[in-house]
Every structure is written in structure tokens, then in C-alpha cells.
Copies of this chain bind each other. A is one copy, B any other.
Amino acid sequence: MDLEDGRVELSEGSGGVALPPPGGLRWIDLTSPTAPELELLRTRFDFHPLTIEDCGHLDQRPKLEEYRTHLFLVTQGFSSTGDKVEQLDLQELHAFLGERYLVTVHETPIAALEETWQRLAKEPKLLERGVDFAYYLVADGIVDDNFPILDCIADELEELEDSVLASPQRRDLQRIFELKHHLVAMRKVLSPQRDVLGLLAKRGDAHVTERTAVYLRDVYDHLVRINESIEASRDLLGNALEAYLSAVGQRTNEIMKYLTIMSAVFLPLAFVVGFFGQNFDDLPFVEDWVHSDLLMWGMIVTCVAVPAAMITWFKKKGWL
């Protein structure tokens, strides 16, 4: 099997056919190819114009298209750096899988592809399993890159749920929304990706041997698990949101309680002191008592007893 950089290969000879010699295998890899390079690809391998058009711009959806001499595969996955999932990078690989050749086209470097390339260069025996096995190795790497992202999101959701219940912050809410954006984006891509690999793993023809299909079923299993994790995370995201809203409501409640207690304590007091501030010359009972300390002390005791009684009552009602 030849591992060749696409640019070299394509410019090598002019007008010649890029197919490998009989009995040989060839893998050509192109990173962000120019329009003339894509045109060369089309003419040498006789690829369908629509697939070449697809290679020209990203943002396709995962798909499997069958042509007479090859399969056209769009494979997608996400990668992310850092402890928290801030930015999801979409990895998109376009692959033409013939019986004896594999042509891969991508815009940005894909780590999984790079590793596979190195590994195949070191272990030539692996090459003998065919180009479909090489595709499996790359697809497996792209798919497995999604696991840490989902674990990360699930962990963060659990933390968010707890921290939000303790003290709800607006940035927690924004974070919840961000995670929902991530999950929606992942589901949009990885749900069709699962179907594509399920289809591919069921084949047993010239392009995908029975032996490789067993391995592809394993990738399919991973994708099924990934999609179930996405659904589970979306479910739990609802928890975090409910926790936020409930904690905000609880805080309003707490403030209300404080306000009520303030009013309950001071409004009666205001009445008591206001009562004795009236301009009557002689209140019948004041008449006799106004000079006595009894009435005054009674008033002072009232000023202490009323709030004390109220607070005791609130405590019994469980408001404090």
C-alpha cells in the first residue's frame, strides 16, 4: 500500500490514471485542496461532479453514497480542548473508498487521521487488511474523540445542578444554555453519523469486507452509546434549568419573608408610639396615669414584647 500526499500524487504525472498498480493499495490524503486539485481528482478517478462539489465546502451532513466503482463517505465528529467544553470543533472528513484505493479530503488537520497515517507507516502489516480497514481506523478515532466531550458535559451538568441550587447566578443560566447549544449541535451531526455507520457495517461487498464490517459494527456501537449519552444529558440539562428557576423563586421567597417580618415587627410599634403622640389634652386613662411610670413602662414593655411574640410565632410557622 502506498501512503501518498495527495498534492504530490496528483501533480506527478499529467493525464495518467491515479489507480494503484494491480495488487497494490493506495491512500491519498488532501488537506484543504484547491479547485484545480479537486478537478484533477475528478478526472483521474472519474468521481461524480456532485461529490467533488461537496469536497469544495464543509458543512455537509454525514452520508454514504454508492457509486459504481467507489463509496463516497462524509464522516463527522467533534473535538474540544481544555477542561471545560467552551468551543466545539467540527471535524469533517470526505472519503472516497474504492476497492484498492482510499482518497481522503479535509479542510483542517484531523488528529485521528494523522495518527492512523503514522501507525500505518510504522506497521506495514496492518496495511494488508485493505483500505477499508484504514478507513475504519480513521473513523474510529474521529468517533472516539466525542467521548471525552460528553463525559465533560455530564460532569459539568451535575456540578451546575448543585451550585445553582446553592446560589443561582446569571452566568450559570448562560452556561446551561451554552451546553444545550453544544448538545443540539452534537445530536444534529452524530445522529445521522450513527445511521451512516450502521448502514456501512451491514454491507459485505467489494468495498467493505466482512472482516472489516465486524470492526465497523464496533464503531457503530460507540455511536449508539454516544447518542444515548446525548439524550441522557439533554434530560439532565432540564434538571439544571429547573434547579435554577426554583432557586431563584426560593430567593424571592426568602426576601419576601424578610420584608414581611420587618413590617410585622415595626408596623405595630409605629402604631403604639403614634398613639401616644396624639394631641389630646386629657385622655381619660392618661389623665390619671400620665405622670405615673406604669403606663410608660407598659408601653416600653409592649415595644419589646410585640416583636418578640411575632418572631416566636414566625419560628413556629417555620418562616425563620
Q: What residues of chain A have their CB less than 8 Å away from a CB belonging to chain B?
A: 48, 50, 60-61, 63, 65, 158, 161, 165, 167, 170, 173-174, 177, 180-181, 184-185, 187-188, 192, 214-215, 217-218, 221, 224-225, 228-229, 231-232, 235-236, 239, 241-246, 248-253, 255-260, 262-264, 266-271, 273-284, 290-291, 293, 295-296, 299, 303, 318-319
Contact = CB atoms under 8 A, between A and B. Distances in A.
Q: Which of A192, A244, A263 has the most CB of B within 10 A?
A: A263
A161 B251 CA distance: 22
Nearest to A248: B249
A314 to B, nearest CB: 9
A192 B47 CA distance: 31
A291 B296 contact: no
Contact of A273 (B221, B229, B255, B275): B275
Given A221-B63, A319-B255, A243 B173 contact: yes
Contacts of A170: 165, 250
Given A65-B217, A214-B48, A188 B251 contact: no
One complex includes copies of this chain to the number of: 5
Contact of A269 (B65, B161, B271, B290): B271
Contact of A268 (B228, B236, B253, B266): B266
A279 B279 contact: yes
A152 to B, nearest CB: 16
6 contacts: A61-B224, A177-B239, A244-B246, A255-B260, A260-B262, A278-B279
Nearest to A228: B188
Contacts of A256: 252, 255-256, 259
Given A214-B50, A262-B264, A236 B277 contact: no
A250 B250 contact: no
A248 to B, nearest CB: 6
Nearest to A171: B165
B278 A215 contact: no
Q: Which of A61, A258, A268, A303 has the most CB of B within 10 A?
A: A258
Contacts of A224: 61, 192
Contacts of A250: 170, 248
Given A165-B174, A256-B255, A318-B167, A215 B277 contact: no
